[in-house]
Amino acid sequence: QQPVQSPQAVILREGEDAVINCSSSKALYSVHWYRQKHGEAPVFLMILLKGGEQMRHEKISASFNEKKQQSSLYLTASQLSYSGTYFCGTRGTTDSWGKFQFGAGTQVVVTP
Amino acid sequence: GAGVSQSPSNKVTEKGKDVELRCDPISGHTALYWYRQSLGQGLEFLIYFQGNSAPDKSGLPSDRFSAERTGGSVSTLTIQRTQQEDSAVYLCASRRTVDNSPLHFGNGTRLTVT
């Protein structure tokens, strides 16, 4: 099953913070986060592995709660360049090695 | 180095025709994925190939869809008897065979079925 992302969309002013959540109904082995700007391909941000540490990409960080089967992406002191659609991709512990399924995405708009 | 290359970038076809979409992965990447993205929607998993193993076809929406990967490199996604609901952007991605490796996406093929 696809992971569920929330919220569907968020509008921020430059410098504000936001949190995007990604939840799964199954036990997860890993979570990937990607950002897609309009008309472009998704670009990798970070990977969180079961038992791994919290990751960071610039002022964007993420955590992985294995017990809750949930990952959260934190946009801190948002910049205009953070605008785009954020996708989480998950692999379940019982999935084949490469099977990644993505959530529906969270559209982020950062305004001046 | 070169990224994932997809062709054509745009394809307009008539309903009922067959189409072939091509993906050239990054050299040395053993895993290759196809996803479909409908307008404003998420990434729908279609199929993935890993080396010489049998592909995971569990995401293909119907038997009109098929994909092959020749020589562990280039992949072709074929859609037979296209329908209007097949209109979408078809994204290909590749990755190295390690657990902490990311997917590298191509720019996609925008398919429009008229």
**Model pLDDT for residues B2-21, shown as the tens digit of each residue:** 899 999 999 999 999 999 99
What does the pLDDT look like over B49-71, one tens digit per residue?
A: 988 888 999 999 999 999 999 88
Minimal Cβ distance to B43: which of A47, A87, A97: A87
Residue B86 has a pLDDT of 97
Residue B99 has a pLDDT of 65
Minimal Cβ distance to A100: which of B41, B100, B103: B103
Q: Which 91-110 residues of chain B touch chain A by CB within 8 A?
A: 91, 95, 99-100, 102-108
How many A-B residue pairs are in contact by the CB < 8 A criterion? 59
Residue B1 has a pLDDT of 53
Residue A52 has a pLDDT of 66
Q: Is the pLDDT of residue A51 over 60?
A: yes
Distance CA B21, CA A27 (A): 34
Task: Enter the tokens of residue A110.
Answer: 């950062």
What average pLDDT does this structure show over B88-109? 90
Minimal Cβ distance to A41: which of B31, B56, B105: B105
Burial of A16 by CB count in 10 Å (0-12 exposed, 13-18 middle, 19+ buried)? Answer: middle
Using a pLDDT cut of 70, give the percent of chain A over it: 97
Residue A50 has a pLDDT of 75
Distance CA B15, CA B21 (A): 16
Distance CA B48, CA A7 (A): 29
Distance from CA of A77 to the nearest CA of B (A): 25
DSSP track, A31-42: EEEEEE-TTS--
Q: Is A91 strand, coil or helix?
A: strand
